[in-house]
């Protein structure tokens, strides 16, 4: 029994294309070797499954008298089939996607040639009539729709967990966001310290009670991070951008263990453990696009050749050196610091340059020429020497810092989001990114109007104050301060304790109201150890 037939192996089919109505015979074939066996049939049974038997004739080559035969099968099952098709029927007989049609070789032919430098046009922005308030810039990114989404799903989640909703509203969510923004600027060791009577911070404590804030923080929810993430991404895409962009990864810190495989580790990062977010930023630091996952098949959309994209960390270059005939790292190191090799094809150039280590770059905008020079330390001569540098390198270094600038601004005043709930750090990053992006847009428009911008800290505080006050009634004072309790060492030192008479008597030093009359001598008793 044929095992291939038993297991359902697909029969191999071989194709021969011959001209229609050919009148040539076997005797007219031009061959130097005589035909020893005119009845010879090819023995396909000896071919392994990996072998290949191709029968093909050029259009100008002589054909056989058997050209009108369209099909010849082998007598045994599982053996290959030889199919002879006239040229005029080939297009109708075969599907272009069929495996019988040889696929066109689309591989690039890489040559040792430079490419023409492409001048990226400068971006132009419409000059605004006047500056908006920091709150309005913030609401361009963190919209009312996002706040309504948070309020709805927070109530829904609390009802699922408690059996009853915590009855929050979009206005209260704005108060909650204002507290988080204040906490990013005024950093206390713990959240309770903002409400504790010894370290009470009235700017935060007067917005809402501590227990209410803890309740909101416990049940803050978004159903899934992705809808909120997509809302922010949609707003970032609408920001007018420059024509020079960079793509890099950002780590959102999270050291917990409840995120599963979402949490990743990247060495040599300020936050080594956390969530990886891929961002696209302009050279000014504004994030224009961000995704939490970047599949291997993801590509940038087709755009006109008016923008320059730069990638870091080898997102697209991880396999370039394995398919290009460029020099190896050892060969470049033998040539010394500054050596480089390159290959180009179809307007794309791949460059390997040896600096302190070998660097791989891919570009369709900048090439090798004109060469520049950079200073590097020479171990042999013990001095700094000038080494050659392809023009692609300084172009990369000049415009690659957009992601790092944005990451630095986010970390300057970071929202406290330490929690076992893994989605809170991502929520804190989205809030901080909204502040950083809106401040950069505000700063750009200040430059257009020749006005001096306020600092990022003042911008963040202005947004926080607006969040707690805009479209809200004047807040009532909810907190009655407890009388201060001095330390025992101060209370009983018998020095400088003098009564002050206002509406009541109190100690000048201890700041405690005490009775001082003929019937009660609380002042003296309070300052004496019994």
Its sign, for the CA torsion 137, 253, 196, 479, is: positive
User: Does residue 178 surpass a pLDDT of 90?
Assistant: yes
433 near 406, Cβ under 8 Å? yes
For residue 89, the SS3 value is helix
Please state the rounded mean pLDDT for residues 436-463: 95
Structure tokens at 316: 């697209």
The pLDDT tens digits of the residues spanning 191-248 come to 999 999 889 999 999 999 999 999 999 999 887 667 888 899 999 999 998 888 888 8
To the nearest 10 degrees (0 to 180), the angle between helices 423-448 and 134-141 is 130
The pLDDT tens digits of the residues spanning 493-509 come to 777 776 666 667 778 77
Report the C-alpha gap between 67 and 334 in whole angstroms.
61
Its sign, for the CA torsion 287, 291, 295, 299, is: negative
The label of the residue with tokens 């109190």 reads 506
H or E stretch covering 154: helix 144-162
Question: For residues 361-400, b (16+ Cβ closer than 10 Å) or e, as one string?
Answer: bbbebbbbeeeeebeeeeeeeeeeeebebbbbbebbeebb
Report the C-alpha gap between 251 and 258 in whole angstroms.
17
Give 265-274 contacts, CB < 8 A, sequence gap 24+.
270/411, 274/425
Q: Which residues contact 195 (CB under 8 A, 6 or more apart)?
A: 204, 205, 209, 210
Tally of helices (H runs) and strands (E runs) in the chain: 16, 15
What ranges in 352-495 are assigned the alpha helix state H? 392-399, 402-412, 423-448, 456-469, 488-491
The pLDDT tens digits of the residues spanning 290-301 come to 887 655 444 444
Report the C-alpha gap between 419 and 218 in whole angstroms.
10
Q: What is the pLDDT of residue 437?
A: 96
HSE at residue 145, side-chain half, CA atoms within 13 A, is: 10
Q: What is the pLDDT of residue 62?
A: 43
Closest CA to 280 of 335, 241, 327: 241
The pLDDT tens digits of the residues spanning 12-46 come to 555 455 555 555 544 444 444 444 454 545 444 44
Q: What is the pLDDT of residue 506?
A: 76
185 near 455, Cβ under 8 Å? no
Q: What is the pLDDT of residue 51?
A: 39
For residue 46, the SS3 value is helix
Tell which wins on pLDDT, 217 or 522. 217
Q: What is the pLDDT of residue 96?
A: 54
436 near 134, Cβ under 8 Å? no
Please state the rounded mean pLDDT for residues 359-363: 84
Structure tokens at 44: 């396909």
Q: What is the pLDDT of residue 31?
A: 45
The pLDDT tens digits of the residues spanning 320-353 come to 444 567 788 888 888 888 889 998 888 888 899 8
270 near 251, Cβ under 8 Å? yes
264 near 255, Cβ under 8 Å? no
**Measured over all CA atoms, what is the biggest interatomic distance in the chain, rounded to whole angstroms?**
144
The pLDDT tens digits of the residues spanning 68-79 come to 444 444 444 445
Tell which wins on pLDDT, 97 or 457. 457
Q: Which residues contact 439 (CB under 8 A, 6 or more apart)?
A: 134, 137, 409, 456, 459, 460
Residue percentage of the chain with pLDDT more than 90:
28
Q: Which of 27-41, 142-156, 504-518 tops mean pLDDT?
A: 142-156
- Least confident range of 256-270, 394-408, 458-472: 256-270
């Amino acid at each position: 029994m044929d095992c291939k037939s038993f297991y359902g192996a697909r029969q191999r089919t071989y194709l021969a294309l011959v001209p229609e109505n050919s009148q040539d015979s076997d005797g007219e074939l031009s061959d130097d070797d005589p035909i020893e066996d005119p009845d010879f049939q090819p023995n396909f049974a000896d071919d392994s499954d990996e072998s290949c038997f191709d029968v093909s004739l050029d259009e100008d080559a002589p054909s056989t008298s058997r050209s009108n035969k369209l099909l010849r099968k082998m007598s045994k099952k599982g053996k290959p089939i030889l199919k002879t098709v006239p040229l005029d029927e080939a297009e109708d007989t075969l599907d272009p996607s069929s495996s019988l049609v040889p696929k066109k070789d689309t591989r690039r032919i890489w040559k040792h040639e430079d490419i023409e430098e492409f001048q990226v046009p400068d971006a132009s922005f419409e000059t605004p009539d006047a500056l908006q308030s920091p709150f309005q810039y913030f609401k361009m990114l963190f919209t009312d729709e996002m706040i309504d989404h948070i309020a709805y799903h927070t109530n829904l989640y609390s009802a699922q967990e408690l059996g009853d909703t915590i009855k929050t509203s979009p206005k209260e969510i704005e108060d909650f966001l204002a507290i988080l923004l204040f906490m990013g600027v005024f950093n206390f060791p713990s959240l309770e310290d903002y409400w504790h009577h010894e370290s009470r911070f009235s700017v935060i404590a007067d917005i809402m009670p501590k227990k209410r804030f803890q309740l909101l923080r416990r049940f803050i929810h978004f159903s899934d991070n992705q809808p909120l993430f997509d809302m922010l991404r949609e707003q970032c895409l609408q920001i007018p951008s420059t024509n020079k962009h960079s793509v890099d990864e950002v780590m959102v810190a999270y050291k917990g263990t409840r995120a599963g495989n979402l949490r990743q580790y990247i060495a040599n990062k300020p936050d080594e453990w956390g969530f990886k977010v891929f961002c696209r930023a302009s050279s000014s630091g504004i994030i224009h696009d961000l995704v939490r996952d970047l599949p291997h098949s993801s590509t940038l959309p087709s755009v006109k050749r008016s923008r320059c994209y730069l990638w870091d960390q080898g997102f697209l270059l991880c396999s370039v050196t394995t398919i290009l005939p460029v020099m190896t790292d050892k060969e470049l190191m033998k040539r010394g610091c500054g050596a480089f090799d390159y290959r180009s094809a179809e307007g794309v150039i791949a460059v390997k340059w040896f600096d302190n280590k070998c660097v791989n770059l891919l570009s369709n905008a900048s090439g090798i020429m004109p060469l520049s020079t950079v200073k590097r330390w020479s171990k042999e001569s013990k001095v700094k020497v000038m080494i050659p540098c392809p023009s692609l390198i300084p172009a990369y270094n000049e415009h690659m810092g957009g992601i790092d600038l944005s990451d630095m601004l986010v970390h300057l005043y970071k929202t406290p989001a330490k929690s076992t709930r893994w989605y809170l750090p991502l929520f804190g990053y989205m809030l901080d990114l909204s502040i950083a992006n809106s401040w950069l847009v505000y700063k750009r428009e200040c430059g257009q109007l020749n006005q001096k911008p306020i600092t990022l800290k003042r911008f963040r505080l202005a947004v926080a104050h607006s969040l707690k006050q805009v479209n809200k009634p004047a807040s009532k004072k909810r907190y009655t301060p407890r009388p201060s309790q001095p330390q025992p060492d101060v209370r009983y030192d018998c020095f400088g304790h003098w009564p002050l008479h206002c509406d009541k008597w109190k100690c000048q030093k201890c700041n405690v109201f005490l009775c001082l009359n003929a019937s009660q001598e609380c002042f003296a008793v309070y300052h004496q150890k019994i």
